[in-house]
Amino acid sequence: MKNLKLIGPISQLLTLDHLPLKGALKDEQLEILENAGILTEGELILEIGNFETLKAKALSLGAELIELKGDHVAVPGFVDCHTHICFGGSRAKDFAMRNSGKTYLEIAAAGGGIWDTVTQTRKLSLEELAEKTSKNANQHLAQGVTTIEVKSGYGLSIDEELKMLRAIQKANETTPADLISTCLAAHMKPRDFASSSSEYLAEISEQLFPILKAEKLCNRIDAFVEKSAFSPDEIKPYFQKGKDTGFDITVHADQFSPGGSEIAILFGAKSADHLEASTDKEISQLAKSDVIAVALPGASLGLGCAFTPARKILDQGGALAIASDWNPGSAPMGDLLMQASILATFEKLSTVEVFAGITFRAAVALGLEDRGRLKAGFLADFCLFLTSNYQEILYQQGTLKPAQVWKKGEMILDLRF
């Protein structure tokens, strides 16, 4: 055995083990270990258990002992399964215009909207984009987010989408966080593409998809299925081509009008994200499927619109993840824990439902089965909070930040002193 470490004693350790993927959860279902320790070997958790018992074992194995002083609560590293942190520019002007009563169309006519970010992102070099993405990822990591999905979608041409995805790959080499890239070339039809939306999608799928596979730039494709972007009928051939090429699928669905979640179910998508406009019909259909419903409270806060009907989704038996949607337009906050805490207040989510939504349920939305719980064999990704009571984490609505962040068995951040 090599590179053994024992971290503890931990006042309360939330394993999130033995919890189902789907449906509502009660806090009574939480497995909470007291006076606990985490024994790691390399990148993985070797054992979780009583600290004193593990200490004797660890010392006999020659493990490094990292003994904690005072009260600590341990939770799995957070997983943010929907972000747009690779981008150029700012949309502060959009935010001010929206708050002063301007409509989406008025903002777009004034030079704002997604196309503004496309223009600013195209101006940056690959190296500049990679540096900015890595910086954003490290900010997220300092808040306990150890796995971060990152979308393209502000390039909207073959070359510019490749630049973005290569920048994400480069950033992944410079941040300790795991970056999971997703191709969102189907964000909107670019203004400088002269032909139809269907022809744009055909060009992307025929020319870009093979390069993504050849360079191993991503295993996931996404599309914005909405009246202002692509219709369900327009996106079907695109997703079919994606499936045939071997990509996992995720969908920007039901943000302003229904229709996208039905497409997500039809194509067996990993997740359907947004869902603010989902009706009882869509909620029931999602709950019966294997598609993870992803709530994006940051977009609701940024746009001033309704939250995803998270309570209804869970009560119907659906699987709910919570992500930040960190982007320059509708969700610039980028604070996953704060957003999840606020969503819990408005949607009456239990503490365990929130933690499940930003750990193992979010991991499954990314096709990852090796993180999001504290148990033997899983990645040693975890956060330590300076408190004796796990309920303080959500009670303080994101203002209580991790004192330590561990990624793959290495301490990345230590703010205890």
Buried b / exposed e across 333-363, counting CB within 10 Å, b at 16+?
Answer: bbbbbbbbbbbbeebebbbbbbbbbbbbbbb
Look-up: residue for tokens 């993840």? 321
Range of the domain at 405: 4-76+374-414
The answer to whether residue 1 scores a pLDDT higher than 80 is no
- Looking at the structure, tell me whether residues 378 and 310 fall in a common domain: no
CATH number at residue 124: 3.20.20.140
Q: Whose CA is closest to 76, among 375, 384, 372? A: 372
Which amino acid, 342?
A: I
For residue range 152-183, what is the model confidence (pLDDT) as tens digits? 999 999 999 999 999 999 999 999 999 999 99
- Looking at the structure, tell me whether residues 395 and 407 fall in a common domain: yes
CATH number at residue 384: 2.30.40.10
For residue range 49-75, what is the model confidence (pLDDT) as tens digits? 999 999 999 999 999 999 999 999 999
Residue 365: what pLDDT? 98
152 burial type by CB count under 10 A (0-12 exposed, 13-18 middle, 19+ buried): buried
- Looking at the structure, tell me whether residues 90 and 112 fall in a common domain: yes
Question: Taking the C-alpha atoms of 99, 344, 260 and 149 in order, what is their torsion angle to the nearest 10 degrees?
Answer: 90
> Directed axis angle between helix 158-172 and helix 114-122, to 10°?
70
The answer to whether residue 120 scores a pLDDT higher than 60 is yes
**Would you say 19 and 32 are in contact if contact means Cβ atoms under 8 Å apart?**
no
SS3 assignment, position 250: strand
Rounded CA separation 169/371 (Å): 20
- Looking at the structure, tell me whether residues 16 and 140 fall in a common domain: no
Q: Tell me the percentage of the chain whose pLDDT exceeds 90.
A: 95
- Looking at the structure, tell me whether residues 244 and 333 fall in a common domain: yes
What's the start-to-end Cα distance of the chain, in Å?
A: 31
The answer to whether residue 368 scores a pLDDT higher than 90 is yes
- Looking at the structure, tell me whether residues 70 and 105 fall in a common domain: no
Give the pairing type, strands 78-80 and 145-151: parallel
Question: Quick check: pTM over 0.75?
Answer: yes
Which amino acid, 367?
A: G
For residue range 300-314, what is the model confidence (pLDDT) as tens digits? 999 999 999 999 999
The answer to whether residue 417 scores a pLDDT higher than 70 is no
Question: At 141, is the pLDDT very low, low, confident or very high (cuts 50, 70, 90)?
Answer: very high
- Looking at the structure, tell me whether residues 26 and 99 fall in a common domain: no
Task: Calculate the average pLDDT of the chain.
Answer: 96
For residue range 16-37, what is the model confidence (pLDDT) as tens digits? 999 999 999 999 999 999 999 9
Q: How far is CA 369 from the centre of its chain?
A: 15
**Would you say 44 and 326 are in contact if contact means Cβ atoms under 8 Å apart?**
no
The two three-digit tokens of residue 86, written as one number: 């690779």
- Looking at the structure, tell me whether residues 152 and 219 fall in a common domain: yes
For residue range 225-282, what is the model confidence (pLDDT) as tens digits? 999 899 999 999 999 999 999 999 999 999 999 999 999 999 999 999 999 999 999 9
Rounded CA separation 380/362 (Å): 17
411: number of Cβ within 10 Å: 13
Rounded CA separation 380/377 (Å): 9
Q: What's the total number of domains in the chain?
A: 2
Residue 2: what pLDDT? 79
- Looking at the structure, tell me whether residues 55 and 24 fall in a common domain: yes
Look-up: residue for tokens 């045939």? 244
The two three-digit tokens of residue 201, written as one number: 């999608």
Angle CA 408–373–8, to nearest 5: 65
- Looking at the structure, tell me whether residues 50 and 123 fall in a common domain: no
SS3 assignment, position 72: coil
- Looking at the structure, tell me whether residues 192 and 335 fall in a common domain: yes
